[in-house]
């Protein structure tokens, strides 16, 4: 009965390093969403993926950020050459299929701190 799993829960990186955030959706869910929550702000949509496909990446910064959801394994959000402004909580959510009747189930988040 596992929900959405994210790891690591906390990640500390120095400026210029790479950050890799992992998300394992609920078993059987084929849709994954990534959100970023900056301090004192609401959640902001970043990207929506299905297996092996990026469906909507309109919320992703144009540079340094990328996401994938391979056929096997977790979804990965990758941030290259991190900067202090990337410090935030990154949440992943999953849903079984597209449709207005399906809500998204959230993981516990990864808190990224850039020193």
Partner 1 sequence: EDKVVQSPLSLVVHEGDTVTLNCSYEVTNFRSLLWYKQEKKAPTFLFMLTSSGIEKKSGRLSSILDKKELFSILNITATQTGDSAIYLCAPKTGDDKIIFGKGTRLHILP
**Footprint of partner 1 on this chain (CB under 8 A)?**
4, 31, 33, 35, 41-45, 48, 55-56, 58, 91, 93, 95, 98, 100-101, 103-109
Closest distance of CB 32 from partner 1, Å: 11
Give the 3-state secondary structure of 30-78: CEEEEEEECCCCCEEEEEEEECCEEEECCCCCCCCEEEECCCCCCEEEE
- Least Å from the CB of residue 37 to partner 1: 8
Judged by beta carbon, residue 32 or residue 79, the one nearer partner 1 is: 32
Q: How far is the CB of 47 from partner 1 (least distance, A)?
A: 10
User: Peptide bond before 8: cis, by omega within 30 degrees of 0?
Assistant: yes
């Amino acid at each position: 009965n596992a929900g959405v799993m994210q790891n690591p829960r906390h990640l500390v990186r120095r400026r210029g390093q790479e950050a890799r955030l992992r998300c394992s959706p609920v078993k059987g869910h084929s849709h994954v969403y990534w959100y970023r929550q900056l301090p004192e702000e609401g959640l902001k949509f970043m990207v929506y993926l299905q297996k092996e496909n990026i469906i909507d990446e309109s919320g992703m910064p144009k540079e340094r950020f990328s996401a994938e959801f391979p056929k096997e394994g977790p979804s990965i959000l990758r941030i290259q050459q991190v900067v202090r402004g990337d410090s935030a909580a990154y949440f992943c959510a999953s849903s079984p299929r597209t449709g207005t009747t399906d809500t998204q189930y959230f993981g516990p988040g990864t808190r990224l701190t850039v020193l």
